[in-house]
Structure 1
Amino acid sequence: MRADRLMAILLLLQQREQLTAAEVARELEISERTARRDLDALSTAGVPIYSLQGRGGGWRLVGGARTDLSGLTEGEARALFLAAGPASAAAPALKAALRKLVRALPEPFRVQAEAAAASLIRDPQRWGSSRVVHPPPRFLDDLQDAVIRGVQVRLGYADSTGAVTERTVHPLGIVAKGPSWYLVGDTEAGRRTFRVDRVTSVRPTGDPVHRPEDFDLAASWREIAGEVDRRRTPLEARAVCVSHGTALLRMAFGDRLEVGGATGDGRIEVVIRGYDEYTLAGELAGLGEWIEVTGPPGVRDHLAAIGRALVQRYG
């Protein structure tokens, strides 16, 4: 119930003036890591809190600000719901909490607060293995504002070769995929996804966004991410897995694993996607106790070669 936690943190800061992440964790009965993440989310989203480093440090409201349900500014209300995330992707308890918060807000703030809650989703599973953290892209705030206010933009955008073009976009939502940011929007050519770090200019047109009635950002992103993953891992290896081994495969391969039905001997049919035969064989080589790869033949040949190399070196 992250929305409840975020509001509880704000109220605690009003009462105590200063709190550490450890104190928030104890009060709310959550992990210190979760408390730190919530505090960072509030600060990043624009809620007026800041951290003091060093001994005796902690988190404070800027200028001792009074930030409660009856005293939120419009910007603070937007920031709070932005940090809370989309209700459409939330558990029922979180949806109920968000509804309570909306009802408690002043009428003029409600539309943009709800729009903020639906404007951003965070997908922690990054593409690739890079752990490099980049600062937020230059035009992220402008695009987020356009999504929340529901206005079209003239978007300057550089493709993978560096060539810059301009187009009119109906911004529908922002996605944080690991350390990368993406804009989901409609264009004359249909639904498109733009890397925010490739955006070169943003100019609101003042015209309203034509938002499909059935649009759901979380569902749309699942389709987009699934298609990207399929393009990045076009090869499919078929295998059978011992019945108790599917949990291990899920941890190892995540969305690249598809679990099928049971075979006559009680094992489970699975399909695992990879980049190419050699790379996928390398990923599967340490799982011989749990799976038997049945195809394609190239993956089996690479597994046999890896096995011979291992025996020659360690046998």
Structure 2
Amino acid sequence: MRADRLMAILLLLQQREQVTAAEVARELEVSERTARRDLDALAMAGVPVYSLQGRSGGWRLVGGARTDLSGLTASEARALFLVAGPASAATPAVKAALRKLVRALPEPFRVQAEAAASSLVTDPQRWGSVPVERRPPRFLDELQDAVIRGVQVRLGYVDRDGAETSRTVHPLGIVAKGPSWYLVAGTGAGRRTFRVDRVSSAEPTGDPVHRPADFDLAGSWREIADEVDRRRTPLEIQAVCAPDGISVLRMMLGGRLEVGGPTTDGRIEVVIRGHNEYMLAGELAWLVEWLEVTGPPGVRDHLASIGDALVERYGRNRHEDGGSPG
């Protein structure tokens, strides 16, 4: 991470003209000793920085240089912050360094760099058996650029039935969900989500996007994903689970599990979502050691049928093999 710190120091010098080691340490969340060592390293590497001694001393760029020492173009600055935005897989250290970098970017770059940092959410969990897309969809770059620049787009879109429509949308963010990409956008009918691989055209209009002041892409996507999950798993069952089985349920069911409070006998109330009664009963049958389904009755009936079938098949074989009837 030292290279990130050195770039951050250069940009701080560019912005403030003079900094002290204590200010650098505070900005970059390092010790003053590390800050001094980094400043010395810049000077030794030939960067035009020098130190002033005394009460009003500090470090300056030779001649009060105000050039863009980072060498970043506008598109490179956007790309940098896109890679390490708050919802990316970048490490916390990288994100922290980039948050400091953005404060020192030249003004023409800063707004779009900050927009890039919040333009993309990565959600690695797939929905069902989604086919793998072997390369990014055709209009991904154009739509992401529209999000970052904050311009409306005339969008051509093909729905799941093959019908093509055209509308003007306000791009708000891009989400990578497993192998698929989605555009979150405002429309005349409210906020909508579009699969990017179904976009047939994307033409920026030049008109500014109307972006809600409180819009948060990650939070909005969680609401969208939760709603889709509820539609995909409309059935809810009630059950109680032994405390030591909750971790198993979490691992197996993920977001389809809601954990409630304790019962009088020490077990935990849970609600589990699924597609239909039969499939959910089959999925939960092996958890009988920890889980007791309390409703609806149809799921309990399916579980009882599964138990009878298992005993019929494997209990008989066990007796024939000389095993204990248990």
Contact 1:119 1:148 (8 Å CA) reproduced: yes
1:250-285 Cα offsets, whole Å, 9 max, x none, are: 110011000001000000000000000011111101
Q: Distance in 1 between matches of 2:87 and 2:195?
A: 24
Choose 1 or 2 for highest CA Rg.
2
Residue 161 of structure 1 aligns with which residue?
A: 161
Equivalences for 1:183-198 in 2 at 5 Å?
183-198=183-198
Q: Distance in 1 between matches of 2:96 and 2:269?
A: 40
Contact 1:256 1:273 (8 Å CA) reproduced: yes
Contact 2:256 2:273 (8 Å CA) reproduced: yes
1:157-211 Cα offsets, whole Å, 9 max, x none, are: 1111111010010000000000011000011111111111111100111100010
Q: Distance in 1 between matches of 2:93 and 2:258?
A: 30
Q: Rate the CA distance shift 1:125–1:69 in 2: closer, same or farther, 3 A.
A: farther
Residue 262 of structure 1 aligns with which residue?
A: 262
How far residue 125 of structure 1 moved from its aligned partner, in angstroms, is 0.9
Q: Rate the CA distance shift 1:72–1:298 in 2: closer, same or farther, 3 A.
A: same
Q: Rate the CA distance shift 1:232–1:87 in 2: closer, same or farther, 3 A.
A: closer
1:34-91 Cα offsets, whole Å, 9 max, x none, are: xxxxxxxxxxxxxxxxxxxxxxxxxxxxxxxxxx971222222111111112369999
Aligned partner of residue 266 in structure 1, secondary structure = coil
Residue 218 of structure 1 aligns with which residue?
A: 218
Structure 2 residue 85 is the aligned partner of structure 1 residue 73? no
Q: Rate the CA distance shift 1:130–1:183 in 2: closer, same or farther, 3 A.
A: closer
Pairs aligned (count): 255
Q: Distance in 1 between matches of 2:260 and 2:180?
A: 33
Name the TM-score, length of structure 1 as normaliser.
Answer: 0.75
Q: Distance in 2 between matches of 1:139 and 1:129?
A: 23
Residue 298 of structure 2 aligns with which residue?
A: 298
Unaligned segments of structure 2, at least 5 residues: 9-67, 316-326
Residue 277 of structure 2 aligns with which residue?
A: 277
Contact 1:69 1:105 (8 Å CA) reproduced: no
Equivalences for 1:109-148 in 2 at 5 Å?
109-130=109-130, 132-148=132-148
Letter in 2 for 1:283: E
Residue 44 of structure 1 aligns with which residue?
A: none
Residue 228 of structure 1 aligns with which residue?
A: 228
Residue 102 of structure 2 aligns with which residue?
A: 102
Letter in 2 for 1:214: D
Q: Distance in 1 between matches of 2:111 and 2:161?
A: 40
Letter in 1 for 2:184: V
Q: Rate the CA distance shift 1:221–1:245 in 2: closer, same or farther, 3 A.
A: same
Residue 206 of structure 1 aligns with which residue?
A: 206
Identity %: 78
How far residue 115 of structure 1 moved from its aligned partner, in angstroms, is 0.6
Contact 2:84 2:94 (8 Å CA) reproduced: no
Contact 2:240 2:270 (8 Å CA) reproduced: yes
Q: Rate the CA distance shift 1:79–1:95 in 2: closer, same or farther, 3 A.
A: closer
Name the TM-score, length of structure 2 as normaliser.
Answer: 0.73
For structure 1, which segment, 122-131 or 196-205, has the greater mean C-alpha deviation from structure 2 after superposition? 122-131
Aligned partner of residue 118 in structure 2, secondary structure = helix
Contact 2:85 2:95 (8 Å CA) reproduced: no
Contact 2:121 2:218 (8 Å CA) reproduced: yes
Equivalences for 1:81-92 in 2 at 5 Å?
81-86=81-86
Q: Rate the CA distance shift 1:89–1:262 in 2: closer, same or farther, 3 A.
A: farther
Aligned partner of residue 300 in structure 1, secondary structure = helix
Residue 58 of structure 2 aligns with which residue?
A: none
Aligned partner of residue 210 in structure 1, secondary structure = coil
Contact 2:88 2:121 (8 Å CA) reproduced: no
Contact 1:6 1:80 (8 Å CA) reproduced: no
Structure 2 residue 174 is the aligned partner of structure 1 residue 174? yes
Aligned partner of residue 200 in structure 2, secondary structure = strand
Unaligned segments of structure 1, at least 5 residues: 12-67
Aligned partner of residue 132 in structure 1, secondary structure = coil
Residue 29 of structure 2 aligns with which residue?
A: none
Q: Distance in 1 between matches of 2:269 and 2:293?
A: 10
How far residue 297 of structure 1 moved from its aligned partner, in angstroms, is 0.8
How far residue 107 of structure 1 moved from its aligned partner, in angstroms, is 2.6
Aligned partner of residue 112 in structure 1, secondary structure = helix
Q: Distance in 2 between matches of 1:87 and 1:108?
A: 24
For structure 1, which segment, 289-298 or 132-141, has the greater mean C-alpha deviation from structure 2 after superposition? 132-141
Aligned partner of residue 202 in structure 2, secondary structure = strand
